[in-house]
Structure 1
């Protein structure tokens, strides 16, 4: 182990002790990836996608806690908070000015490692109707005009 020099002491005094995996903590709202049960992006939180998966995860993990990104408007978080209250899950809002660039809107997490492999919800892409597929394949000018009047 190397000895600390004066610069290390000054940096530690000004900014606090360095935490391991600091970039990971900034991305996941102060927690580590290995502790997360489920992570929702800001887009999923604002569009209420993933509420069913969040509710199911809360049922299965009653000792977990919900951490919410404070940069997401409170009006988008009402459903998540209601579900957390329903299952007795504690929730807190984290507003970290240094970590504004994270895409994470909310995480369901433990205080210890659980090492869950898939923590993100895979968004389903909508399948276009057969008629729309045919129109896209036949991209003629008249087909496009006809689609305006359908």
Structure 2
């Protein structure tokens, strides 16, 4: 080998294979932001109110891949895994313990496997807002109005 070809081999052997945007890949459970269609933090995964938005995303994109944070309790992830099986969507449990400080790791990511989709809104609360329906006010009876 010539000296020009030797240096990359030595660098790769000493430091590992170079990665493109490793912090971004850690945050989005091993994929790039440009491939993400929907992202949920760990707190949003634990809230059951987000299941409907997740199911809508699976129905709209059955060819996408679901990445689940494997450090979350399996009892919490079970409904999400059940939905992926129900809609025949592939999923992967990932766990990465070498997270840098200050980087919030997602709890669940729905992403295209190979293509960049460049969704501008990926947060579940922005993409599928939960509409609070207020109960209609109960009409007061004649006697309640009389003594009020």
Q: Normalising by structure 1, report the TM-score.
A: 0.72
Pairwise CA distance, 1:13:
1.3
Distance, in Å, in 1 between the alignment partners of 2:49 and 2:11 is 42
Q: For each residue in 1:44-84, what CA deviation from the matched residue of structure 2 results, as whole angstroms up to 9, or x when unmatched?
A: 11122321111001000010111000111101001111111
Q: Which residue of 1 aligns with 2:43?
A: 43
Q: Which residue of 2 aligns with 1:102?
A: 104
Pairwise CA distance, 1:104:
0.6
Count matched residues.
125
Contact 2:26–2:105 under 8 Å retained in 1: no
Q: Show structure 2 runs of 5+ residues with no match.
A: 133-148
Q: Which residue of 2 aligns with 1:80?
A: 80
Q: Show structure 1 runs of 5+ residues with no match.
A: 128-150
Q: For each residue in 1:70-104, what CA deviation from the matched residue of structure 2 results, as whole angstroms up to 9, or x when unmatched?
A: 11110100111111111100111001121375331
Q: Normalising by structure 2, report the TM-score.
A: 0.73
Pairwise CA distance, 1:11:
4.2
Distance, in Å, in 1 between the alignment partners of 2:53 and 2:131 is 18
| 1:1-150 superposed matches below 5 A | 6=7, 9-99=9-99, 102-111=104-113, 112-122=115-125
Distance, in Å, in 1 between the alignment partners of 2:58 and 2:130 is 25
Question: In structure 1, the residue corresponding to 2:37 is in which secondary structure?
Answer: strand
Contact 1:37–1:110 under 8 Å retained in 2: yes
Contact 1:38–1:57 under 8 Å retained in 2: yes
What root-mean-square deviation, in Å, do the aligned CA atoms of Structure 1 and Structure 2 show? 2.6
